[in-house]
Structure 1
């Protein structure tokens, strides 16, 4: 997969890399900081190079949250096919625990930010909503499996899970040029959240496409993503 420049001109930050994840750190952090864990989409074929945590987009997002004083976490999970959502969910859970144990991270102030096909992985977290999970965000996500999906559809249905803990802050970033199947799941998510009185912020980017981060400069998208980062900062108390 060819690399594409990130759409935002954020400057690189210090990254600590191990065999599981990259930790994007603020320049002048004092004490443990809240963390945003980025959950990439998929399916991503197993032989794709570079792997998602090395994509310019996630390096850029890690730098954006670090520039705001938060810790950014990027990693690869095993969503190589639609059947592997359970394995990908296990990978996310393991990274969450690993992140909370970092000296640089305040383990009581964690957020998930899920992209595209990574959206259904958040369903279990929406249902559990542990006290240290302060926010869950989505960017151009699919939020429910298709009707013919052969796996455990209720487990990965974020639409049905959104009302479980209405007090948990949620963010949905939507684009105007979206995949056809994704749109009704996003509409249903918003409707279900509104019906439940859930804490949901929706940011619309009408003139952006799915995967806009690799489509070049877009002032509207940049303003929206900056707003999203500010939202996370506010919910995490950074």
Structure 2
């Protein structure tokens, strides 16, 4: 069994050429609160000699206590993978439910980051009208909410890997008490946004781990069904032998296919 230290060093199993030949801008300050600075890393293609504005993919991490997510192997390797594919990528840390923060507080963290990218697009040399969100695990409901509701004018596509879509299941899955009122939980849960926002929702890519926790998959399956009933543009990839975080722990052809198709999906909707 892997230790937490070993897990945090794990990188995505899918590799492409030139992943180590990308530019990494470390610890850019996107918010200050008193003496505290909020930091992000930006991965850019090394070959962007013309310094043209490129689309940006925001990576929204999952749940774990006291983890500097933007510096763990999963997100550093994913940032390199995206940059080597010709796009900008941004990693950052947001609050998590398991540390006692509310849904509103976590949404606010993501809000602030996206607003910063939009308002500073010239300085960062990004195309603010071509943003994608790639969210994982516990970060899925927050990434979906931002892309389906708050910033649907800027977000051109969303990728969601093995995550919840209804906060009513989050407390049960994480073993915590969700502090927001029931109506607020429903307000922020992506599954309930489909009916009211169906015409504004960008194309979706959903990756499902067949051997994942049944509670999580039940939530994801209901979201997929509702997306199809509402005739959304949605690409669905099931990994029948994949467990949670299959991109790290299941080094097989299906994992590589799903990640490769995810990159194709980004290029399709961001590079026009």
Normalised by the length of structure 2, the TM-score is 0.80
Preserved contact between residue 26 and residue 40 of structure 2 (Cα < 8 Å): yes
For structure 2, list consecutive stretches of 5 or more residues without a partner in the other structure: 30-38, 172-177
Preserved contact between residue 132 and residue 155 of structure 2 (Cα < 8 Å): yes
CA distance in 2, matches of 1:165, 1:16: 36
Structure 1 residues 1-238: aligned runs within 5 Å = 1-2=4-5, 3-6=8-11, 7-10=13-16, 11-12=19-20, 13-18=22-27, 19=29, 20-29=39-48, 30=50, 31-42=52-63, 44-46=64-66, 48=67, 51-81=68-98, 83-100=101-118, 101-102=120-121, 103-121=124-142, 122-146=144-168, 149-151=178-180, 152-163=184-195, 164-166=197-199, 168-215=202-249, 217-237=251-271
Preserved contact between residue 95 and residue 101 of structure 2 (Cα < 8 Å): no
Structure 1 residues 180 and 136, CA gap change in structure 2 (3 angstroms): same
Relative CO higher for 1 or 2, CA cutoff 8 Å, sep ≥ 6? Answer: 1
CA drift at 1:159? 0.8
Normalised by the length of structure 1, the TM-score is 0.90
CA distance in 2, matches of 1:77, 1:96: 12
Preserved contact between residue 123 and residue 155 of structure 1 (Cα < 8 Å): no
Q: Which residue of 1 aligns with 2:36?
A: none
CA drift at 1:229? 1.0
Preserved contact between residue 61 and residue 93 of structure 2 (Cα < 8 Å): yes
- 1:14 alignment partner, SS class: strand
For structure 1, list consecutive stretches of 5 or more residues without a partner in the other structure: none
Larger radius of gyration, structure 1 or 2?
2
- 2:158 alignment partner, SS class: strand
Preserved contact between residue 4 and residue 214 of structure 1 (Cα < 8 Å): no
Give the total of aligned pairs: 234
Preserved contact between residue 119 and residue 158 of structure 1 (Cα < 8 Å): no
- 2:210 alignment partner, SS class: strand
CA drift at 1:64? 1.4
In terms of mean alpha carbon deviation, does 135-144 or 162-171 score higher? Answer: 162-171
CA drift at 1:78? 0.8
> Pairwise CA RMSD of aligned residues?
1.9
After TM superposition, the runs of 4+ consecutive aligned structure 1 residues lying more than 4 A away are none
